[in-house]
Structure 1
């Protein structure tokens, strides 16, 4: 049985992707900063598929030691990790000139460093096994920067670039790397904002795309997929 590791899996896109992989019959390793959220989602996931194994680790993915502990725990309890979903990220709607003093470091730690560190941890193992798939959840802001979310746009652009480098490094080993580029998606980032859900991408749309890509033949890879609202960005 294969295993998927997902960061930030209790909300939004990460949550939807976790449920999608559970329905596919994959074991899951998931992390979050909130242990109660982890306990709740584990129960929900097992209610739809009691045949899979799920490990949960309370971890702040912006902290390298906690992130790597998550990776090590997942390996120790579930064995080889076949799928890595770098989902964790935080949207901060401020212009660079108005950033707080810690914004630069925090946005790097939240949006770029987790994907980098997990790639460093798992990359050579995936290459040696010549088997695996990495999904990096980027953002349309990586392509069309949002002036009122400057460092978010910068770090997401860096994540997209990192994802491209991962793909080039891994392709000789047959390991797949896909950049998922969502537009305005109805996640907790929009809490408190009046929006029309019918004019946004839904987390389930992202999960459906990830699963469709995952299920492609061994010789096919989707380098990038962009999913945006049919009416345009909000």
Structure 2
């Protein structure tokens, strides 16, 4: 049975992705800062598919030591990790000149650092096995910066750049790397806004794309996929 590790797994895209892997009969390792949410979601995943294993650990993914402990413990519990989905992220709307002092560091540690560290942790193991797949959840802000979200745009640009470097390093070793580039997606970032869900990308759309890409033949890799609202960005 295959194993997937998903960060930011209890909400939004990460949640939908975890459910999709469970439906495919793939064991999942998930983390969250909220133990109650984590245990409730574990029960939900096991209800969906009682045959899978669900490894959970209370973890603040923006803290390197906690993140790496989660990675090591998941590997110890489940074995070889076949898929890593870096979906942990945060959006803080502010221009660079007006944002508070901690905003840049906070978004680097949430939007960029976890992908870098999990790549360094799992990359050599995947090379040795000549298999594995990294999915990095980027953003349309990785392609076109948002003036009202300066630090966010910088970190997402950097995440897409990191993804491209990862792909170049991994491609000769049979390890796949895919950048998922969503536009306006109905996640908690929009919880205070009044929006029509039919004008947005849904987390389930992102999950569907990832599962279909993962199931492609060994010789095929999707380098990047952009998924935007049909009526245009909000």
**TM-score normalized by the length of structure 2:** 0.99
C-alpha RMSD of matched pairs (Å) = 0.5
**Which residue of the partner structure matches residue 211 of structure 1?**
211
> Residue 107 of structure 1 corresponds to which residue in structure 2?
107
Provide the C-alpha distance between the structure 2 equivalents of 1:94 and 1:82, rounded to a whole number of angstroms. 37
CA deviation vs aligned residue, 1:41-90 (integer Å, no higher than 9, x gap): 10000001000000101100110000001001101100000000000000
* Residue in 1 that maps onto 2:59: 59
SS at match of 1:136: strand
Using the TM superposition, give the Cα deviation of residue 34 of structure 1 relative to its aligned residue in structure 2, in angstroms.
0.6
Distance 1:37 1:159 in 2: 27
**Aligned partners of 1:167 and 1:36: how far apart in 2?**
36
> Is residue 21 of structure 2 the alignment partner of residue 21 of structure 1?
yes
Structure 2: tracts of 5 or more residues without a match? none
Q: Map residues 1-234 of structure 1 onto 2, 5 A cutoff.
A: 1-234=1-234
d(CA) in 1 for partners of 2:222 and 2:126? 18
Q: Residue 148 of structure 1: SS of its match in structure 2?
A: coil
* Cα distance in structure 1, aligned partners of 2:22 and 2:12: 16
- Deviation of 1:99 (Å): 1.0
Give the SS at the match of 2:97: helix
Deviation of 1:19 after TM superposition, in Å, equals: 0.3
When the two structures are aligned, how many residues end up with a matched partner? Answer: 234
Stretches of 4+ moved more than 6 A in 1?
none
**Structure 1: gaps spanning 5 or more residues:** none
**Partner secondary structure for residue 128 of structure 1:** helix
Q: What CA deviation, in whole Å up to 9, does each residue of 1:86-127 have, x standing for no partner?
A: 000000011101111111111100100000000000000001
Name the TM-score, length of structure 1 as normaliser.
0.99
What's the CA shift string for 1:159-195, capped at 9, x where partnerless?
0000010000000001000000000000000011011
| Secondary structure, counterpart of 1:5 in structure 2 | strand
